[in-house]
Amino acid sequence: MSNRTPKGDRMVIALVGRRNAGKSSLINAIIGQEISIVADHPGTTTDPVAKHYELLPLGPVTFYDTAGLDDVGELGAQRVQAARRVLYRTDLALLVVGEEGIGVPERTVLETLRSMDIPVIVVFNKADVATPSEADVDFCRSAYLPCLSVCATNGRGVQYLKTMLVKSAPREYCEEPLLVRDLVSEGDTVLCVVPLDLSAPKGRLILPQVQVLRDILDSDAVGVVVKDEELAGALDMLKKAPALVVTDSQVVRKVAAEVPEDVPLTTFSTLFARRKGDLRKLVQGADAVDSLRDGDKVLLCEACSHHTEADDIGRVKIPRWISRYTGKRLEFTMYSGHDFPEDLEEYSLAIHCGGCMINRREMLHRMRECALRQVPVTNYGVVISKVQGVLDRVVGVFGAR
């Protein structure tokens, strides 16, 4: 079912434009459901409205209906800011143009989308009352912007718009995302080490572990799951050495000591560092730990909000491990969900979670924001392997050194 697909694996399509351009009517026409309130009064949409949808043959996507980017007043400015935050995780944008045509507001939006490297389709809405001017069509052609005319109220052109959405999808959504399938072959055994401590959810595995196991099965390989206490016995039991061992980062040093050096070893979080971001840059970011000084601020970012335990990985363990490794007095700050601080310049290092709940574009955007401010960035699993002294081995399987 589309609704069960993790948020981080969905392509995000945002509808942007002026107030009253027909964004809400258009998303209702695409989805075939009344999910956004439609009214003639401008500014009906306030907070971004999300809707999951199965866009065949592409697969599961999330549409966002956003407030008008020309909203006014103090409250309007807050609505515009909320809409812009959606763009940070947008893979493809629909610029919805009303009967006014392409004016300053639309050109401003296009400049924003171009600066963020977000592909865009220009949708001339309200074809029942207005047709695109020749000047607007020429503008789209000269700017190499795909465009079409639709009528959200009667459905004219909506099916063709869906076809254009599929054709315009970023490459990574048209390809099978990689976790382990390029590292193993049919019939190989992959040993997954999953500690069941206080932070482990009761009665289930966490999402990265589940997705890695599924990728192992899709590769026609054999997945074996053990707790860290059972690792030695599992290795002895196997008649043939595993093709790969994947461990939870929190026990990586213990596992590295027990797994023979000639057996490839990595972590769940490192696999997601490769899948969602740029692994080489995240490894370089981990090396910045060696340069931390007394009083430096370190940013920790989690893409989801969750109940915290007494020994929380991001709030307690990583700060403790880094402080012990560096011997420095450091200041740690935690951000959760889609929040990302604007004062990045204050930080000497940013450490992100595995990003299983966000898509690749948002992760890359966060990495780019850090790079623009010259802030090294890494992720949980990579930095843990760094301070535990096993980073070279963990990333060696990918040739990331």
pLDDT of residue 262: 96
Residue 247, burial from CB neighbour count under 10 angstroms (0-12, 13-18, 19+) = buried
Task: With beta carbons less than 8 A apart as the criterion, state whether 183 and 264 touch.
Answer: yes
pLDDT of residue 148: 96
pLDDT in tens, 68-108: 776 656 666 677 777 777 887 788 999 999 999 999 989 99
pLDDT in tens, 109-163: 999 899 888 899 999 999 888 899 999 999 999 999 999 999 999 999 999 999 9
Task: With beta carbons less than 8 A apart as the criterion, state whether 287 and 280 touch.
Answer: no
Q: Residues near 155 by Cβ (< 8 Å), separated by ≥ 6?
A: 29
Would the pLDDT of 4 be above 80?
no
Beta strands at 297-302 and 265-267: parallel, antiparallel or unpaired: unpaired
Angle (CA) 201 205 209, round 5°: 135
- Kindly list the domain boundaries of the chain, sorted by start residue: 2-174, 189-270, 277-393
CATH class of the structural domain 2-174: alpha beta
Looking at per-residue pLDDT, the higher value among 19 and 301 belongs to 301
User: In Å, what is the CA distance from 219 to each residue of 182, 239, 243?
Assistant: 9, 21, 13
pLDDT in tens, 319-375: 999 999 999 999 999 988 766 777 889 999 999 998 878 888 788 878 888 887 899
Beta strands at 244-247 and 265-267: parallel, antiparallel or unpaired: parallel
User: In Å, what is the CA distance from 274 to each residue of 190, 247, 285?
Assistant: 18, 15, 14
Q: Do domains 2-174 and 189-270 have the same CATH topology?
A: yes
In CATH terms, is domain 277-393 a member of 3.40.50.11410?
Answer: yes
In terms of Cα–Cα distance, which of 334, 346, 340 is closest to 84? 340
Angle (CA) 104 105 109, round 5°: 115
| DSSP code of residue 122 | E
Q: In whole angstroms, how large is the CA radius of gyration of the chain? A: 24
Beta strands at 222-226 and 265-267: parallel, antiparallel or unpaired: unpaired
Report the C-alpha gap between 23 and 377 in whole angstroms. 36
Residue 201: CB atoms within 10 Å: 11
pLDDT of residue 165: 93
Report the C-alpha gap between 118 and 210 in whole angstroms. 30
The pLDDT > 70 percentage for the chain reads 86
**Architecture of the CATH domain 189-270:** 3-Layer(aba) Sandwich (3.40)
CA-based torsion, 131, 133, 137, 143: positive or negative? negative
| DSSP code of residue 256 | H
pLDDT of residue 339: 63
CA-based torsion, 152, 17, 19, 85: positive or negative? positive
